[in-house]
Amino acid sequence: MRFALTDDQRDFAASLEALLASSDTVAVARAWADGDSGPGLKLWARLAEQGVTSLATEASPVELVIAFEALGRHAVPGPWVESAAYLPRALGHEVDGIGTVAVPPHLPWALDADVADQVYVGSTPAGAVGQMRVSVDRTRRLFEVASSVEPAETNRDAFDLAVLATSAQLLGCGERLLADSVVYVKQRRQFGREIGSYQVIKHRLADVHIALAFARPLVFGAALGEVPASAAKVACADAAYLASRTALQVHGAVGYTQELDLSLWITKVRALVSAWGTPAHHRAAVLAGL
C-alpha cells in the first residue's frame, strides 16, 4: 500500500486547513450548539465551494478522508457525514443543499434535521421529522424521523463510506486533543515545574500519540480498500477516546468545564464513538471477516 499523498492531495489538505484555521470554527460550533446555525451554514457554503460536498461522487475515498480529518480537527458542526458521504453514495448523486439521514439500527436518529434541506430514512425521503433528542455533544441535534413507506435495505457501500468518514473525523479530533494537551502541559506549572516535565504525563501523552499513529494507517488502508472500514472505526474510536480521557486528566478540573474549548472535542469524540455503528458492532464485523 502507498500511503504518501500526491501533490494535489497535499495541496487540497493545505487549502482546507487554511480555510478552517481562519474561520474561527470554535465560535461556529458554539453558535451551532446554541441554535444559531447562521455561521455554520456560511462555513458549509465555503467548504462546498472547496468541493467537500462532491468528494463522494467525484473524488477518491482518500480525498474524503483528508477532508473529514480536517473537519474533526476543527470541530466543524453539521451533518457532514450524512450529507457528503452516505447520501451521495446511496442516492448516486451529490445532495442538493444539506441532507441528513437516519439509518436504523446503527443511526436511529437524523442529525440536524432542523437545518437540512432533505431528510432521509436510508435512501427513502422521510415523511415527518419528530422530536429532538439530546446528545452528549451539544453541537449534534438528533431528531426522530419516519418514512411513509418501508425504507429500502441499507446501502452497504454508502454505509462503509460513512463509517470511514466518521473514523477520519475521530482521528482529527484525537489529534487536536493531543495537540492542545501538549500545549497545556508546557504552560501549567505545579510544585515549581511544568507538569509536562513529569514522566507520568509524558508517558500518557506518548500512549495517545502511539494510538493515533497506529490508527492512521488503518484509515488510509480502508480508503484504499485494503482493510475493512470497521477496522478503521475501531482503531480511531479507541485512539480518540484515549486522547479525550488523557486530555481531561492532564487539564485537571478545568477540563470538565463547558467554557473551555476542550469540551467541544471531548463531547464530539464521545458521540462519534457510537455513531454509524457501535464499537461492539464493528469489532464483530472485523471478527467475522477474519
Write down the pLDDT at residue 127: 82
- On the 0-12 / 13-18 / 19+ scale of CB atoms within 10 A, 279 is middle
- Please give the model's pTM, rounded to 2 decimal places: 0.95
Residues 18, 182: Cα–Cα separation, whole Å: 22
Write down the pLDDT at residue 204: 97
Write down the pLDDT at residue 256: 81
- Classified as helix, coil or strand, 255 is helix
DSSP assignments along 32-94, one per residue: HHTT--HHHHHHHHHHHHTTGGGHHHHS-HHHHHHHHHHHHHTT--SSHHIIIIIHHHHHTS-
For residue 197, being part of any structural domain is answered with: yes
Write down the pLDDT at residue 128: 84
For residue 262, being part of any structural domain is answered with: yes
Count of structural domains, the chain: 1
For residue 277, being part of any structural domain is answered with: yes
Low-confidence ranges of the chain (pLDDT < 70): 1-2, 149-152
For residue 144, being part of any structural domain is answered with: no
Q: Give the helix/strand (H/E) hosting 110.
A: strand 110-111
**233 lies in which domain range?**
156-289
Write down the pLDDT at residue 37: 96
- CATH number of the domain enclosing 252: 1.20.140.10
Q: How far is CA 221 from the centre of its chain?
A: 18
Q: Backbone phi, then psi, for 126, in 5-degree steps? A: -70, 145
Write down the pLDDT at residue 151: 65
pLDDT in tens, 177-232: 999 999 999 999 989 999 999 999 999 999 999 999 999 999 999 999 999 999 99
For residue 285, being part of any structural domain is answered with: yes
Cell reading at 107:
443511526
Residues 176, 145: Cα–Cα separation, whole Å: 33
- On the 0-12 / 13-18 / 19+ scale of CB atoms within 10 A, 94 is middle
